[in-house]
Structure 1
Amino acid sequence: MEKKRIQIFDTTLRDGEQVPGCKLNTKEKIKIAKRLEALGVDVIEAGFPTSSPGDYQSVQEICRSVSKTAVCALSRAVEKDIEIAGQALQYAKRPRIHTGIGTSNCHIRYKFNSTPDKIIERAIHAVKYAKRFVEDVEFYAEDAGRTENEFLAKVCENVIKYGATVINIPDTTGFCLPEEYGDKIRFLKENVKGIHKIKLSTHCHNDLGLATANSLSGIMNGAEQVECTINGIGERAGNTSLEEIVMIIKQNSHLNLFTNINTKLISSTSHLVSECTGMRVQANKAIVGINAFSHSSGIHQDGVIKKRETYESINPEDVGIDQSSIVLTARSGRAALAYRCKKLGHFLNKNSLDLVYSIFLKYADEKKEITDRELKTILKKANLNANNKILHTPNNRRINVV
């Protein structure tokens, strides 16, 4: 069976930048946009042009700076928003307007003080108006996660009729469970007239830690695009993490899916976004956290040294990391100590290793981690000479180091 391509829609520069304190200037946005294009994303959501003159300028300059990747601008279902988005995209080689409106009962009643019929009217008008500026119009049904499936299907059918090319089904509040979200996508695929004409897109938030799982469930049930961010940054608890969904697809060939992402650029792209936004990546973050390929447990270290796959399902080189890290702590064993000593040019036999290990444990119990500098001090304390021989042990026995 032929593999199905999943398009990657990156919203780091729009939804990702909405994190408090995560303000990017135009120069930084262009730098990240160029990297996203090199990474291989299909669509870059460059910003929300009507929100500020600076965002308008950034979207415009990104359009000038990228050539292969589609550039998308967000708008509300408001004519002025759509018009400004269209103007900001005028230099894009492949422009897309992303417009939409809330569809859940909560949004209809409390946000818009409106009715379902009027919401559908506004949705239709937004899509029709956006088509005046670009051919590629994506419609978002905000809070689709909490929208009744029958009404959501009715909204989708109407915007397809008037020219939407992509329909985004956001789990705006991270409300859905994976099975529920997948069922929602499948319901739309099976019940919306004309659904074959457009792409369904996932846009999941991480309020309950389920953004990636929900996105995966979405594509397993027929969605063809995933909206995500580098490092999973975004409103509140963040968005689906690009690196997570991409590597899940890459590592699980039985899914029969693929993306166009050059995964070897993932790590460097993560660092770039973290540096520009000032948003540090948590140490245990999947794929890109500093601990993702680090091992401090003696049992794990011994296994990884013998064969990496014993405790790693992903080859670090696949995401642009040279090698796994063997971190020396009080939980480390002799295998890890010998490995790190070897890296420093000291090849210890069993007796020598036993001696160095006994000294190492005293240091390790007092520190969180033993650095190379401290390891050299330990080797010196064990009276290791320049020829890699232990001169004297505490019992005055000579031990050769091979």
Structure 2
Amino acid sequence: MSYSKYVKYPTVKIENRKWPDKQIEKAPIWCSVDLRDGNQSLPQPMNVDEKVKMFKMLVAIGFKEIEIGFPSASETEYEFTRKLIEDNLIPEDVTIQVLTQAREHLVERTFEALKGVKKAIVHVYNSTSELQRRVVFKKSKEEIKELAIKGAELVKKYSEYTEYTESKFIFEYSPESFTGTELDYALEVCEAVIQVWKPTKNNKVIINLPSTVEMSTPNIYADQIEWFCTHLSDRESIILSLHTHNDRGTCTASSELGLLAGADRIEGTLFGNGERTGNLDIVNMALNMYSQGVDPRLDFSNLNEVVEIYEECTKMVVHERQPYAGKLVFTAFSGSHQDAIRKGLKALSESKSEYFEVPYLAIDPHDLGREYEEVIRINSQSGKGGTAYIMESDFGFILPKSMHPEFGKIIKQKSDSLGGELTPEQIFKYFKEEYLENRTPYYLRNYRIHSIQDIEKEENKVDIEAIVAINGKDTKIEGIGNGPVDAFFNAMHNNNYNGCKFISYDEHALNIGSHSKAVAYIQIESKEKRYFGVGISDNIDTASLNALVSALNRTKLN
């Protein structure tokens, strides 16, 4: 790897930069470029029907500006533009945007596609970068500037034709590869374009500064934007727009810092689809704002449906770790994470706070149409807290805290042996096998309880008679104790079936899918090792006795 053949990107000389001390306080003007920049980079571009479906979804999300394509580039793009206009599919508050190069036959074809449109942004561009001037176009700075001026003159000329008197056009210019262009020269070209269009505060134009190739750290891009904003003439008549790509993996930060530096508008795509490593992911940036208490003015409350339509139309797949939208982003595999999330969710349910605060969850999954059941999943790396959370949230078993390590260890071993993740259903299956379905060597057939009251001693005792199958053979046992569990415990001990010490007892109503059955947990100690047992029944006494039998059986197997 010969790193010496690469040159550091230059810094911007700017004094008293203001953007580092700012915060994002409001949403920018969003412009989706899914149907143009995103579509052109698909291995299989969308057909007209797919583009219509995607357009309708973008409208439903709340985009007010949507770049629909490059009408002069292909017949499909042209037909799609005509369909939106002729079928009246563009809402009154939505402005479509079209892209064209600064060549007359392309501009002419673009305006033909726009006949009858009520409002549209016409976006013209040409590359201004030093490298492309030198290697691709072999043109001087002045010649490249003339191309930009010619493009601005062409779109202005065609917009003034009589067939468009009922249409309102907004002009946009991009010095493509802005990040590869000398800053003062980029400003010079943009100023020349602005002079052609002569914007006013009531009739603004858009100057878009694309990071067509991400070449620097985000702070340098922010410096470029702030420098541009402070040097641009008639700034109040300009909507300054950003269009970042993700070559260095930091386009979200670049767009966010660029917004702090003075930009008004952001172009991007859903889930970052675009050339090479993609465009800015607008879902990511918008929900970053949302998580900071800022209204992004885009609706992702049904994010699963957005993902579904996106994948259907683009044939692309949203990565499982994609911020906010991926299948695994609200999933914790780490045991310590699972435990913290479980405790956080419980604290949140008991709190009266208006704020969402749960460890490891930057945003409430419910806000995005996601479910808490997706938060915890179990594998060999999971801890006791995650397993206990699954048992409580999915099946209603509130395991005593001292039982968490025991059952967590069982699930770890099962996951290790299977070599993968366990579903909640698998976890419950192993729980039943370990605690509820083990009938060896003991199984309680039936029992009868008698109350014994000693008036003189003021004592209440319980006498129990029970039939217990021991290795398949029915045996009658009898014992006395302070209650049914104590009496049965003593009965087993009297018959040499119990050499254990009683440690703890817990119970609760089991409401999930059980018609309010009772569940009991009993912990005993045998030879300095402790074991839990679990029992379930409509009758709390039966549940308790089954829990004791479960614990005794486990002492024989472990």
When the two structures are superposed, what TM-score results if normalisation uses the length of structure 1? Answer: 0.91
User: CA 1:360–1:393 in structure 2 vs 1: closer, same or farther (change >3 Å)?
Assistant: farther
2:421 to 369, 383, 388: 369
Contact 2:187 2:228 (C-alpha < 8 Å) held by counterparts: yes
CA offset at residue 345 of structure 1? 3.6
CA offset at residue 80 of structure 1? 1.8
1:339 to 377, 385, 389: 389
Contact 1:160 1:195 (C-alpha < 8 Å) held by counterparts: no
Per the alignment, residue 330 of structure 1 pairs with: 380
Structure 2 residue runs without a partner (length 5+): 1-22, 160-167, 200-204, 346-357, 438-513, 520-533, 536-545
CA offset at residue 267 of structure 1? 4.2
Distance 1:292 1:175 in 2: 29
Spell out, residue by residue over 1:202-245, the C-alpha distance to the aligned partner (whole angstroms, 9 max, x if none).
11110110111111121111111111100111000001000111
Structure 1 position 181 matched with structure 2 position 221? yes
Distance 2:285 2:47 in 1: 28
CA offset at residue 269 of structure 1? 1.7
Distance 2:221 2:395 in 1: 52
Amino acid of the residue matched to residue 314 of structure 1? I
Give the greater-gyration-radius structure (CA): 2
Structure 1 position 314 matched with structure 2 position 363? yes
CA offset at residue 195 of structure 1? 2.6
Aligned to 1:135, the other structure's residue is in SS state strand
Per the alignment, residue 396 of structure 1 pairs with: 553
Per the alignment, residue 38 of structure 1 pairs with: 60
CA offset at residue 371 of structure 1? 0.9
Per the alignment, residue 105 of structure 1 pairs with: 130
Distance 1:259 1:376 in 2: 41
Aligned to 2:274, the other structure's residue is in SS state coil
Structure 1 residue runs without a partner (length 5+): none
Aligned to 1:125, the other structure's residue is in SS state helix
Paired residue total: 395
When the two structures are superposed, what TM-score results if normalisation uses the length of structure 2? Answer: 0.67
Amino acid of the residue matched to residue 298 of structure 1? G
Spell out, residue by residue over 1:104-155, the C-alpha distance to the aligned partner (whole angstroms, 9 max, x if none).
1112222222221122222122122212335201111100011111111111
1:379 to 413, 431, 443: 431
Aligned to 2:35, the other structure's residue is in SS state coil
Structure 1 position 161 matched with structure 2 position 192? no
Aligned to 1:285, the other structure's residue is in SS state coil
CA offset at residue 93 of structure 1? 3.4
Amino acid of the residue matched to residue 156 of structure 1? C
Structure 1 position 270 matched with structure 2 position 304? no
1:27 to 36, 49, 62: 49
Per the alignment, residue 142 of structure 1 pairs with: 176
- Which structure carries more strand by proportion? 2
State, as a whole percentage, how many aligned pairs show the same letter: 28
Distance 1:329 1:93 in 2: 56
Distance 2:26 2:384 in 1: 47
Contact 1:29 1:62 (C-alpha < 8 Å) held by counterparts: no
Spell out, residue by residue over 1:27-62, the C-alpha distance to the aligned partner (whole angstroms, 9 max, x if none).
111111111111111211111112210111122223
CA offset at residue 319 of structure 1? 2.7
Contact 1:71 1:89 (C-alpha < 8 Å) held by counterparts: no
CA offset at residue 5 of structure 1? 4.1
Flag the structure with more relative contact order, 1 or 2, with Cα contacts below 8 A and sequence separation at least 6. Answer: 1
Once structures 1 and 2 are overlaid, which stretch shifts more, 138-147 or 327-336? 327-336
User: CA 1:2–1:338 in structure 2 vs 1: closer, same or farther (change >3 Å)?
Assistant: closer
